[in-house]
Structure 1
Amino acid sequence: MATQWGRKETIIWPPHAPVMSYSAIAAAILCTGLFLWQRLHFSLPPLQQSYITEYIRAEVGAAVHTHGTYRLLYLGGGKAKPRLALPVDFAVGKTTLPDGRFIPFALSELAQAQGYRFPFRGPAQKVADAALYRWLRYAIFDGNGPFGVFIVSFTEGGVCLAVMLWFAIPRDIQRFRQMKYGRVLRGPLMLSPKEFNKVQKGDGIGFKTTESDKMMRIPLRKEAQHLQLMGDTGVGKTQLIMQCLRQIRQRGDSAIVYDPACEYIQRFYDAGREDIVLNPLDTRCPYWGPAQEMESNAEADAIAASLYQPATADKDEFFHQTPAQIFAHLLKLGPTPHQLAEWMASDTELMKRVEGTEMAFYIDRKAGPQRAGVLSSLGLVAKCFRLLPQRDEKRPVWNARTWAKKRKGWIFITSRPPERETLRPLHSLWIDLLVMRLLTAPQPGQKPVWFVIDELASLQKLPQLHTAITENRKSKNPLVLGFQGKAQLEVIYGHLAEVMLSQPATKIFMKTAEPKAAEWISEAIGKVEIERLKETKFDGSRSGKNFTVERQIEPLVMGSEITGLDDRHAYLKLGNNVARFAFDYLDLPTPTPGFLPRQSPDGEMSFDPDTLEPRTPKSAKPEVRTEPVATTDTVESMANDAPLALEKNPIPWPMKDTNEPARAGELNRPAPASPPTVVADTDTAQEDLHGPEYVREL
């Protein structure tokens, strides 16, 4: 059968008969005959070789009680009277007969001592078959029947038959299936896990299936071309991702795991590996600030673009691009996350920092609704920045810029369902930053980093993800993407979703109940051209059969098959090979809690949810600092230039009756009786320094 451009051509249709099995039987019979011939001429003693024909005739005749004519073998040639030859009369060697012929054995010393010189056939005589059979069996063939004499040869022939049928029967079954279902000429092939391993010879990541003891593996070179898992909730995506994570851990590779349900962190977090938890509400979260991710001012635009992305592809880009420009400008000033949040919450501070730039026109007070829209979009990320740990909490400092160079430990980006919406901008920014930092080719000795993103649609649009999917194979950092359906990504990424879905080399499709998504999966798996033999029967006076060949194009897997798949059943497509497999539930221990709440003022509720009574805020422990002497001029200058510095280092109000300023740390001390002083707590002083009353009094 010839193959040209993926199409199989042949002029011979598979025959109806099991040709391969018949051929195996014929070959086994031939082999058995060869074994019998070898046994007869090279293994049997001389008398058994001479009497084998008579022995078989006598056995048959004894069964029907007949008499036969036989010529028995005698010893003669000497003065002794001829007698019937026995097995002890022969030995290894050669003997010359009176007519000059040679026979391949010689008389034994006993026979020669008795005066015999050679064996010869006696005259024909008629004897009872039963009597001759008994004499031959016990005197010549050691009690073995004709079948017992050649039992070794028949056993060897049976082994040959079994081995040949082992290979022939599957081929005949395949031929019968072709007769019944047709022969695939072009398109993908449906394989079992064993057949998939045989074709692919994979040495990379694998999946444990119920159909085979060995893991179904993909080639190692295909890992960098990414993996994609698609299916409804609860069909087994998480189980397959856990299989991948176990193998990544065994290899010692690094991984970045987006864990929106805190499932993977419970099973794979390892503090000894120096793993990182990126969740501002988790006590294990390190200190992080967006300004620390910058290596140049140009990178501020990329960071801002990751934060301000529309929820869908159809949103107005002006109210996302403009806040991104303002945020990038603020980022270049090197603020902390909490400073950024305060700037975005203060109209005065924001205007002060964009004054003199082209961005001032976007939020000019005369801009009206445009100004309100830009400011509201700008402040959407402020709430998640307030949740981040502060620098003075004495936490380890982390940033993607440094981690991408060392690649030490795993990174878990976690959340719980009630907090997912609030943390969505931060999660998207972290993943986008890590993708951007890991796009470069790895340095010698650097470990590959696996991006494992489950529920991709729960993130906002990631500008760097499209680049990572299309170009990340050069950096050898594989992506494992899990999502529920194509429509989810189309809403977020628009037309780019089609390119993103087509790039992963390994695609795993599971059950989806949405008909359009199932049809898309059917199209993604591919169609096949099938050649079928159509049989037509004629009855009546001209009865007979007629065979015609027809070709059809149809999907390898129909959409209805996708919607009807059982849980933990899937199709794996790699190239033109499609493997249908099932897998069991993997129950891994959970030694680590998925979430450890962090106590922070921004995370505390101001009221009791059961009684709706206001709560007394927990007082923060005062920090002992050595602060510089403040004067009226320095207070006014700092109020204008760095209001958040006042929050961290509160400066007391200067004494009115003297020129001696108050010192830091004396705010809460009792004022002397004379002269009178004005003492304000930190929060009141903070508000006064920013309020209009303070401006008027100055």
Structure 2
Amino acid sequence: MSTVLSTLAEGGQTWAHRVRMIRQVIKIALSISLVVGLINFSYQNYMVDSNYHMSMWYYLKAFLGSLLSDEISVNCAFWSQASHEYFAGNTVNLPTSKVLRVTSPYYESWIQFEIYAFRKALTFSIYTLFISMTFFFVRGGASKKKKHISGQKVVSAWVLRNKLRLFGKASSIYIGNVPMLKDSETQHVLISGGTGTGKSTCIHQMLSQIRKKGQRAVILDATGEFVSKYYREGKDIILNPFDDRSSDWHPWAECKESYDYDSISESFIPSSNNESEGYWRSAAQSVFSALLQKTESAKSISGLVQILSYEPLAGMASYLEGTRAYAHIDPNSERTASSIRSVACSFAQCLEFIKDTEDPFSIREWVQNEDDDSFLFICSSVAQRDTLRPLVSTWISVAIKSLIQMKPDLHRRLWFIIDEMPSLQRIKGLETFVAEGRKYGGCGLFAIQSPAQIENIYGWKQAQVIIANCLTKVVFAEQDPKIAEDLSKMFGNREVKEYQEGISYGAHEMRDGVNVSGQVKTHPVVSPTDIQSLRKLTAYIKYPGNFPVSVLSFKSMRAKRKGILSTQLNCK
């Protein structure tokens, strides 16, 4: 029973207090409108010619004076203007009937004017009442609205687009329906989101614009989708040992100095984040590098594979005698040597699918030939992905190193479009590329599903370097709560001042009151829920600098079906 009474009291008191406050607000608004109306009415009368006021005065004086006398005293100056009769002196006594006859037209005009003035003043009062109530309503909403203090805001696409154009920062390349920040291509783009949310559509849009601009691109095509749409036979290059259109390649085409062999071996056999694997990977790299140098004169892939995978351990050790790798393949330590050899073979087994050739394609020469505007497609099908992973990763690593070896040029543009980036092993030189590639004209566009995927491959510190140096971030929908939370952190936090309303009440009216207090709180710029709620083909975008975050929309793009990646086996 006490709970019911308490609830009844609370409801009644708060409702009654609201009614009293509304009554006060209406009273204030009416008072303001009344004052404005009176001021307007007074001003209109002030602007009326004084003769009308005098006429009104003498008309009333004559009307009332006729009850007591037949004459009234009239100002001579006024009478001369009203009746065009002139008298000497200041005043003159005139019959009331004559005064009424002369001033009557002025009186009637004055009455009509007063009606008009009243209506106009009333209109002003009503408008003022409406404006006052609107002001109170807006002010009430603003008093409860969150106020931005620091951090980035989320704005509509048209707001960001106009802001970029206003400051002259709009690029000719668009992401979705918003232009990129001018000259930010070399600061790299990171695209993230779940499967089927629009990442490939975003890449399609970028590739179409890159092609129109005549810029070059190294494209990792994990499904053959980009090859089917953008490959130009006789112009572009395909690298895939299982594709009839692929150019022939071997590792010696990329090696001019002794350190190039070390670089190739480290690309095939990447370093591990696991300390227990460190020695085995390092030793395998040394063995593979030595074998490449030993077989340099023959440049035979089949010969290299024969020695690495099928030659007896003693024969392999004899072949490597005199090199630094010999210590790792010592026949006296057969168990250790076999383990090192198996590590090298596990990464280099993809070489078995490469044909021997006397006229190899050189990635280094293609990258450093700036007169060409072709695309280099490094591709595989889903079924081939695991087999070709070391080879594909090496090709991309060679392309990156070839760019870094060129002279710095801020006007150069060479794109690295890497779809499904976590499908690769660790790419040697990627950290250097994202940190220093800008001065060489390198433009990275990397597509992932989660930052954790990069961390698993490169380790936490290196993953942070890669993500931090991709200054343009495009995030599509992701339903996994943990991944959505990781993506949300890339946008940072913002501080807002939130207002809360408190009501105090009691038996006496003096105790009733409303208190509005503000409190500064920190919120993510884009919350995990916001990311989970994104529709297909929409994404959040974050540009470098002080530009706000926005929501992009993309148009669906269908790839051509003609010329899809061939799966015929072309190997010895």
Same fold (TM over 0.5): yes
Q: Distance in 1 between matches of 2:142 and 2:180?
A: 28
Deviation string 1:75-104 (CA, Å, 9 cap, x unpaired) is xxxxxxx9xxxxxxxxxxxxxxxxxxxxxx
Give, as a single letter, the amino acid of the residue that structure 1 aligns with 2:319: R
Match of 1:513 among 474, 479, 498: 479
User: Residues 310, 592 of structure 1: CA spacing in aligned structure 2 closer, same or farther, 3 A cutoff?
Assistant: farther
Q: Distance in 2 between matches of 1:331 and 1:176?
A: 77
Residue of structure 2 equivalent to 1:240: 202
Q: Distance in 2 between matches of 1:178 and 1:245?
A: 45
Residue of structure 2 equivalent to 1:203: 170
Aligned length: 465
3-state SS, counterpart of residue 338 of structure 1: helix
Q: Distance in 2 between matches of 1:207 and 1:249?
A: 15
Residue of structure 2 equivalent to 1:588: 558
Deviation string 1:368-398 (CA, Å, 9 cap, x unpaired) is 3211111112222443222123326xxx631
Residue of structure 1 equivalent to 2:158: 194
The reply on whether 1:482 has 2:443 as its aligned counterpart is no
User: Residues 292, 227 of structure 1: CA spacing in aligned structure 2 closer, same or farther, 3 A cutoff?
Assistant: same
Residue of structure 1 equivalent to 2:428: 463
User: Residues 448, 538 of structure 1: CA spacing in aligned structure 2 closer, same or farther, 3 A cutoff?
Assistant: same
Residue of structure 2 equivalent to 1:424: 389
Residue of structure 2 equivalent to 1:305: 266
Alignment of 1:546-565 (within 5 A): 546-565=515-534
Q: Distance in 1 between matches of 2:303 and 2:406?
A: 35
Alignment of 1:355-504 (within 5 A): 355-391=321-357, 397-407=360-370, 408=372, 409-440=374-405, 447-495=412-460, 496-504=462-470
Match of 2:277 among 316, 319, 324: 316
Residue of structure 2 equivalent to 1:633: none
Give, as a single letter, the amino acid of the residue that structure 2 aligns with 1:594: I
Following superposition, the deviation at residue 545 of structure 1 comes to 2.3
Following superposition, the deviation at residue 290 of structure 1 comes to 0.5
Give, as a single letter, the amino acid of the residue that structure 1 aligns with 2:537: R
User: Residues 444, 199 of structure 1: CA spacing in aligned structure 2 closer, same or farther, 3 A cutoff?
Assistant: closer
Residue of structure 2 equivalent to 1:673: none
Does the aligned pair in 2 maintain the 1:313–1:492 contact within 8 Å? no
Q: Distance in 1 between matches of 2:233 and 2:571?
A: 27
Residue of structure 2 equivalent to 1:351: 317
Does the aligned pair in 2 maintain the 1:313–1:491 contact within 8 Å? no
User: Residues 417, 310 of structure 1: CA spacing in aligned structure 2 closer, same or farther, 3 A cutoff?
Assistant: farther
Following superposition, the deviation at residue 557 of structure 1 comes to 2.6
Q: Distance in 1 between matches of 2:501 and 2:348?
A: 73
User: Residues 347, 446 of structure 1: CA spacing in aligned structure 2 closer, same or farther, 3 A cutoff?
Assistant: farther
Following superposition, the deviation at residue 538 of structure 1 comes to 2.9
Does the aligned pair in 2 maintain the 1:179–1:532 contact within 8 Å? no
Q: Distance in 1 between matches of 2:243 and 2:187?
A: 33
Q: Distance in 1 between matches of 2:275 and 2:423?
A: 18
Q: Distance in 1 between matches of 2:276 and 2:174?
A: 41
Q: Distance in 2 between matches of 1:416 and 1:508?
A: 25
Does the aligned pair in 1 maintain the 2:242–2:571 contact within 8 Å? no
Residue of structure 2 equivalent to 1:611: none
Q: Distance in 2 between matches of 1:583 and 1:601?
A: 44
Deviation string 1:331-377 (CA, Å, 9 cap, x unpaired) is 22312322221221342553332012332221122213211111112
The structure carrying a bigger helix percent of its residues is: 2
Q: Distance in 2 between matches of 1:314 and 1:285?
A: 38
3-state SS, counterpart of residue 378 of structure 2: strand
Residue of structure 2 equivalent to 1:649: none
Alignment of 1:9-28 (within 5 A): none
Of all paired residues, the percent bearing the same amino acid is 24
Does the aligned pair in 2 maintain the 1:442–1:448 contact within 8 Å? no
The reply on whether 1:286 has 2:286 as its aligned counterpart is no
Residue of structure 1 equivalent to 2:192: 230
RMSD: 4.1
Following superposition, the deviation at residue 190 of structure 1 comes to 1.5
3-state SS, counterpart of residue 258 of structure 2: coil
> Structure 2: any 5+ residue segments left out of the alignment?
1-21, 23-28, 57-83, 85-100, 118-130
Residue of structure 1 equivalent to 2:64: none
Deviation string 1:582-635 (CA, Å, 9 cap, x unpaired) is 424422341642212445354xxxxxxxxxxxxxxxxxxxxxxxxxxxxxxxxx
Deviation string 1:622-657 (CA, Å, 9 cap, x unpaired) is xxxxxxxxxxxxxxxxxxxxxxxxxxxxxxxxxxxx
Give, as a single letter, the amino acid of the residue that structure 2 aligns with 1:357: T
Give, as a single letter, the amino acid of the residue that structure 2 aligns with 1:457: P
Following superposition, the deviation at residue 327 of structure 1 comes to 1.4
Give the structure-1-normalised TM-score: 0.59
Does the aligned pair in 2 maintain the 1:337–1:386 contact within 8 Å? yes
Match of 1:543 among 506, 512, 536: 512
Give, as a single letter, the amino acid of the residue that structure 2 aligns with 1:190: V
The reply on whether 1:221 has 2:183 as its aligned counterpart is yes
Following superposition, the deviation at residue 453 of structure 1 comes to 0.5
Does the aligned pair in 2 maintain the 1:254–1:447 contact within 8 Å? no
3-state SS, counterpart of residue 197 of structure 1: helix
Residue of structure 1 equivalent to 2:238: 277
Does the aligned pair in 2 maintain the 1:236–1:568 contact within 8 Å? yes
Give the structure-2-normalised TM-score: 0.71
Q: Distance in 1 between matches of 2:140 and 2:488?
A: 26
> Structure 1: any 5+ residue segments left out of the alignment?
1-15, 17-21, 42-48, 58-81, 83-121, 134-145, 148-164, 209-214, 603-698
Q: Distance in 1 between matches of 2:189 and 2:276?
A: 30
Deviation string 1:419-451 (CA, Å, 9 cap, x unpaired) is 111111110000000011112565679741011
